[in-house]
Structure 1
Amino acid sequence: MTIPAVKRELATARARPVERTAYAVAAVLLLSGLVHLGVLLASGATWEGPLSYRKAMTFGLSFGLTLATLAWATSFLRLPDRTRTFLLGAFTAVSVVEVALVTLQVWRGVPSHFNFETGFDTVVSMTLALGGAVIILTVGGFTVAALRTTSGLAPSMLLALRFGLVVLVASLAVGALMIADGVRLSRSGDPQLAYTTAGGLKPVHAVAMHAILVLPALAWLLRFTTWSERRRTRVVQAAAALYALAVLGTWLV
């Protein structure tokens, strides 16, 4: 890369206040996930079921990684400061709420999702579902911004961002389907079937969720090669096709 290009790269890398906050919160969530991994290993408790410490671990690690990834990936989008702060701030706040409530219920020894046994458990379950709706709306806002962007970004990075965000929205839609189906089954008097049914969609949900990290990271790394932008875009296109096949394969398995 040329010296002016490096300078532009460094300027882009400077995090805005809302992004710095998101990175700090993401670090705390990741730490929470690692702590619960340690608790899980040290206690010898089960890895299976809705009461396992694995759930607190998974939510901490997943939300921490996703929050940090979204803050980094969307930093390339040209957005009004207020819009960026609102969208990323809302996603950061709801990430904290989701992880905190799931962790609370794990330590209480009760399921966090599809649990309507008491008034408090019902509030927790419905808050988690509402949080999912907020997540979809915020990611949807970033996705619309990426689809509307037509200049200011290299075609390879723009393609990576669009693909990653669209697939992330698809992942969240799968998550919403899991919650809706689980609530229906739980309300009908079969909570165990609700957990089993929702669990069947976890693999595709997880794979689709991280396209927003893999594709933009690839596009960013390609910027440091001597390849032409046309060649870099073709590589990202091929990677997107392979990732789409991976998501589809996970769904069908």
Structure 2
Amino acid sequence: MTRPKSIAALTAGLSTAERLTYAVGGLLIASGVVHFLVLVISGDSWDGPLSFRKPTTFGLSFGLTLITITWVASYVKMGVRLRTWLLGFFGAACVLEVALVTMQAWRGVPSHYNLETTFDGIVARTLAVGGAVLVVTIVTLTILSFRSAPDTAPSMRLAVRAGLLCLDAALAVGVAMIAKGMLLVFEGQQQLAYATGGSLKPEHAVTMHAVLVLPVLAWLLTFTRWSERRRGQVVWLGIAGYALAAVLVVLGLT
């Protein structure tokens, strides 16, 4: 039976790339917390393209996702060099996205769908490039997760694969939101883009963090006395439950 990995075991023997991305993820979360405090203290609105909500949510979400991907990647079979490159590109893209969104919030201008000035247009396009890097790295990691990994319990492999597939869906939703908003901008409907470009945020959010929830469930199950077969069944139940929650969000029933 596969022995559970304790917190100490998870942090032992980390590569330089893993330690760096864990640290960067923590800094991004700290940035999100700081901007939440700024939002509360300033009395700023939670809504709108100029709100400090954006650096708050981007810092928290990207920081948590970077930490999660670093951990989840440890269960995926790949070479050290490839792991380093994937984590490096993903971490750099996360920092880029949060930094640009944060900068625009402090400048008092929208970060997305904003082509008002040459500089703002460069920022918007750079955000798109960063998003493309995120998509490529996560899709690559998803494909790699379906390779044989004998050192990883089947229940964890299942959880990782399902979580990454959900993250792929979240990225697809994110791309759809950006495309929808930019089409409106090109049609001259800038304000409508700001108002409706993020209409798929609930679907984006619920699918994004399955990559954390499902592997954590599989990891916690390793501390039980259950057989691997039963742990796999529980992970399948977790996947079904998460899928049901996502469907309810998509249908607007939550």
Bin for the TM-score computed over the shorter chain: over 0.9
3-state DSSP class of the match of 1:113?
coil
Opposite residue 57 of structure 2, the aligned amino acid is T
Instruction: For 1:251 and 1:128, locate their aligned partners in 2 and report how far apart those are by CA, in whole Å.
Output: 26
Counterparts of 1:56-67 in structure 2, within 5 Å, are 56-67=55-66
Query: What whole-Å deviation, never above 9, does each CA across 1:183-231 have from its counterpart, x for those lacking one?
Result: 1111211122212322210001001000000000000010010000000
* 1:12–1:76 Cα contact (<8 Å) kept: no
User: Which residue of the partner structure matches residue 88 of structure 1?
Assistant: 87
C-alpha displacement at 1:48, in angstroms?
0.7
User: Which residue of the partner structure matches residue 237 of structure 2?
Assistant: 238
User: Which residue of the partner structure matches residue 215 of structure 1?
Assistant: 214
Instruction: For 2:44 and 2:157, locate their aligned partners in 1 and report how far apart those are by CA, in whole Å.
Output: 44
Opposite residue 135 of structure 1, the aligned amino acid is L
User: Which residue of the partner structure matches residue 160 of structure 1?
Assistant: 159
User: Which residue of the partner structure matches residue 248 of structure 1?
Assistant: 247
3-state DSSP class of the match of 2:113?
coil
Q: Does 1:69 align with 2:68?
A: yes
Instruction: For 2:146 and 2:193, locate their aligned partners in 1 and report how far apart those are by CA, in whole Å.
Output: 36
* 2:32–2:55 Cα contact (<8 Å) kept: yes
User: Which residue of the partner structure matches residue 132 of structure 1?
Assistant: 131
3-state DSSP class of the match of 2:146?
helix
Opposite residue 24 of structure 1, the aligned amino acid is A
**Structure 2, unaligned stretches of length 5 or more?**
none
User: Which residue of the partner structure matches residue 190 of structure 1?
Assistant: 189
3-state DSSP class of the match of 2:194?
helix
Instruction: For 2:184 and 2:140, locate their aligned partners in 1 and report how far apart those are by CA, in whole Å.
Output: 31
Opposite residue 231 of structure 1, the aligned amino acid is R
C-alpha displacement at 1:149, in angstroms?
2.7
Opposite residue 220 of structure 1, the aligned amino acid is W
Query: What whole-Å deviation, never above 9, does each CA across 1:76-119 have from its counterpart, x for those lacking one?
Result: 22210111011111000011110000000000000000000000
Counterparts of 1:73-152 in structure 2, within 5 Å, are 73-152=72-151
User: Which residue of the partner structure matches residue 169 of structure 2?
Assistant: 170
User: Which residue of the partner structure matches residue 5 of structure 1?
Assistant: 3
- Corresponding pairs, count: 251
**Structure 1, unaligned stretches of length 5 or more?**
none
Do the aligned partners of residues 27 and 150 (structure 1) sit closer, same or farther apart at CA in structure 2, a change above 3 Å counting?
Answer: closer
Query: What whole-Å deviation, never above 9, does each CA across 1:113-152 have from its counterpart, x for those lacking one?
Result: 0000000000000110111111000001110110123532
Do the aligned partners of residues 6 and 189 (structure 1) sit closer, same or farther apart at CA in structure 2, a change above 3 Å counting?
Answer: closer
State the superposition RMSD in angstroms. Answer: 1.7
Instruction: For 2:152 and 2:185, locate their aligned partners in 1 and report how far apart those are by CA, in whole Å.
Output: 46
3-state DSSP class of the match of 2:152?
coil
Opposite residue 5 of structure 1, the aligned amino acid is R
Instruction: For 1:201 and 1:70, locate their aligned partners in 2 and report how far apart those are by CA, in whole Å.
Output: 23
TM-score, structure 2 as length reference: 0.95
Of 85-94 and 5-14, the range deviating more from structure 2:
5-14
TM-score, structure 1 as length reference: 0.95
Identity %: 55
Spell out structure 1 runs of 4+ moving beyond 6 A.
Answer: none
User: Which residue of the partner structure matches residue 47 of structure 1?
Assistant: 46
Opposite residue 213 of structure 2, the aligned amino acid is V
Do the aligned partners of residues 168 and 227 (structure 1) sit closer, same or farther apart at CA in structure 2, a change above 3 Å counting?
Answer: same
* 2:77–2:147 Cα contact (<8 Å) kept: no
Opposite residue 232 of structure 1, the aligned amino acid is R
Do the aligned partners of residues 8 and 80 (structure 1) sit closer, same or farther apart at CA in structure 2, a change above 3 Å counting?
Answer: farther
Instruction: For 2:32 and 2:169, locate their aligned partners in 1 and report how far apart those are by CA, in whole Å.
Output: 24
C-alpha displacement at 1:25, in angstroms?
0.4
User: Which residue of the partner structure matches residue 37 of structure 1?
Assistant: 36
Q: Does 1:228 align with 2:231?
A: no
